[in-house]
Amino acid sequence: MADKELPMPSRQKDLYDNWKVYSQIDKLMFRCSKKKADWYLCRNLAALLPEDKAIKLSFVAKGDGHAEGDYMVEDKANICVSCGTSKALTLHHIIPDMYRKWMPEVIKSKSSRDLVVLCKNCHLKYEQQADKYKECFATEYNMPLEGRGWILTPDNSIVRKAASAVVKYRDGKLPLIPLDRIQHLHKVVDDWQIEQEMSGTKDEVLECALQLTDRHKGDDYVDHGQYVVAQLMENAMVIQNNRTRWPDLEEFVKNWRRHFLKYCDCDYLSDKWSVDADIYVE
Ligand SMILES: [Zn+2]
């Protein structure tokens, strides 16, 4: 499978630029991309250092950056963390986006720790396991992955198929269709147009009919990821400095990290990357 071409976009350039960002007291705070470094430099928020690919902030940054020796400040290789190849690389979110996007900002903005490099093959291999894991949450929370609250419109498929045949016939791709059949298909589309009180040319109507779907989200539609994250956030506690913590959500994040380590042989993942690493920004 290694040489098989897979239909997934991959990055051509290095995923990690590994620019170093130092604080005013010369502490290595974090790593960033060239784009981010340029952003600081353009705004006079940082100065270029003689060291290769390094800048020093010209303001006192909020927080202290990452601890010395932390995964987030080390040099990262542009290779797949599983097989070590430097070809066909892609960025992989260890916490699937369908959950991550509903998480609070204090967790979401920390997620670069949970963003790793995988090649396309390793990515697809792991995704099969990740899909199975998502099914476990669908069962546990009694909430299908596709969400709940779809409104089925099976009649749409009759109109869409009729429009598709009419278009093919029009374009000479269905020369053998009997005349009475094509007349019937035209009538299906015409009746639908009347029912929808739709104006426009025949081609425009056909184009609309081709877009019809067999279902759509109703007003009470519930997204799987949104629902699961909301449940995980029910147990919230406020700690010092008025910060909120969600123990169940923390465990969920860690479980995804554990799952990734278990099913994706991470021979090339840094030793400093850890399941128990920080989840919150502050
Ligand atoms: Zn790989």
Domain ranges in the chain? 17-75, 77-151+214-282, 154-206
Q: How far is the CA of 95 from the centre of ligand 1 (A)?
A: 18
Q: How far is the CA of 220 from the centre of ligand 1 (A)?
A: 41
Q: How far is the CA of 1 from the centre of ligand 1 (A)?
A: 11
pLDDT in tens, the chain (282 residues): 344 444 555 555 677 788 888 888 888 887 888 888 998 899 888 999 888 889 998 888 766 566 666 676 666 778 999 999 999 999 999 999 999 999 999 888 766 788 899 999 999 999 999 999 999 999 999 999 999 999 999 899 999 999 999 999 999 998 888 999 999 999 999 999 999 999 999 999 999 999 999 999 999 999 999 999 999 999 999 998 889 999 999 999 999 999 999 999 899 998 888 899 888 887
* Complex ipTM value: 0.99
Assigned token pair, 140: 């546990």
Q: How far is the CA of 281 from the centre of ligand 1 (A)?
A: 29
How many other CB atoms are there within 10 angstroms of residue 105's CB atom? 8
Q: Which amino acid is at 120?
A: K
How far out from the chain centre does Cα 198 lie? 37
Distance in angstroms (rounded) separating the CA atoms of residues 77 and 15: 9
Phi, psi of 48 (to 5 degrees): -75, 135
Q: How far is the CA of 29 from the centre of ligand 1 (A)?
A: 29
